[in-house]
């Protein structure tokens, strides 16, 4: 099994892709299958979010894997004007809902309670299958410094079994 624990800036060659929905890109310990069928263990520091396009390496720095945001069920929220969209963003933020900001729209994870609230605010809410890349937030590490690349994201446990959601209990 390939172990991935270090973000790198660039690579001459991408070995495989790691296609994950946002929920799994937030996990600090993950066992997944790469696009080439190989199993991989991903170790990141708690609070790290893998973003679409991130490059990860393990013990062999030449074996680089590209993170790809998978399409997942989301809502695209639009409004008649900017003020109405801002009002929707306020109410979503008031509920600590992660949101992706686009040009004239918001994208959120599919949630029928939130959909009903947004419709009640006069928004149009469209079901989509799309990659979800929410804002990092004020404390989410949305900034990137040169010194954080090339170092392990988290200590690699010597003997830790990583479970998939589909593994029997």
Q: What is the DSSP string of 17-74?
A: EEEE-HHHHT-SEEEEE-TTS-EEEEE--TT----TT-EEE-SSTT-EEEEEEPEEEE
Rounded Cα gap, residues 98 and 110, in angstroms: 11
Of 71 and 48, more confident: 71
Q: Could you tell me which residues come within 8 angstroms of residue 143 by beta carbon, excluding any fewer than 6 positions away? A: none
User: Where is 122: in which H helix or E strand?
Assistant: none
Q: Domain limits of the chain? A: 2-69+141-148, 71-131
Tell me what pLDDT residue 44 has: 87
pLDDT band at 147 (very low <50, low <70, confident <90, very high): very low
> Given 3.60.15.10, 3.30.429.10, 3.30.70.790, 3.30.70.20, which CATH number is that of 71-131?
3.30.70.790
Rounded Cα gap, residues 84 and 80, in angstroms: 7
Report how far Cα 123 is from the mean position of its chain's Cα atoms. Answer: 25
Q: Which two tokens stand for residue 28?
A: 């600090």
Tell me what pLDDT residue 154 has: 57
Rounded Cα gap, residues 13 and 111, in angstroms: 39
Q: Could you tell me which residues come within 8 angstroms of residue 78 by beta carbon, excluding any fewer than 6 positions away? A: 85, 104, 105, 123, 124, 126
Answering whether pTM is above 0.85, one says: no
Q: Is 103 helix (H, G, I), strand (E, B) or coil?
A: coil
Least confident of 19-33, 41-55, 85-99, 126-140: 126-140
Q: Which two tokens stand for residue 81?
A: 């004007």
Of 155 and 21, more confident: 21
Which tens digits make up the pLDDT trace of 108-143?
Answer: 999 999 999 999 999 999 999 999 999 987 655 544
Rounded Cα gap, residues 156 and 57, in angstroms: 13
If you search the block for the tokens 């209990």, which residue do you land on?
169
For domain 2-69+141-148, the question of CATH label 2.40.37.10 is answered with no
């Amino acid at each position: 099994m390939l172990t991935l624990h270090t973000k790198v800036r660039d690579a001459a060659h991408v070995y495989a892709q790691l296609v994950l929905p946002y929920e799994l890109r937030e996990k600090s310990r993950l066992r997944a299958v790469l696009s080439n069928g190989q199993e991989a263990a991903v170790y990141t520091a708690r609070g790290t979010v893998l973003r679409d396009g991130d490059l990860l390496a393990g013990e062999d720095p030449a074996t680089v894997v590209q993170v790809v945001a998978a399409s997942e069920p989301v809502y695209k929220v639009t409004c008649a004007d900017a003020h109405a969209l801002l009002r929707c963003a306020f109410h979503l933020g008031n509920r600590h809902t992660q949101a992706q900001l686009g040009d004239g729209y918001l994208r959120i994870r599919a949630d029928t309670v939130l959909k009903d609230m947004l419709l009640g605010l006069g928004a149009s809410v469209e079901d989509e299958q799309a990659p979800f890349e929410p804002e990092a937030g004020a404390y989410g590490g949305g900034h990137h410094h040169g010194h954080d690349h090339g170092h392990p994201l988290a200590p690699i446990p010597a003997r830790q079994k990583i479970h998939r959601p589909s593994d029997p209990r």
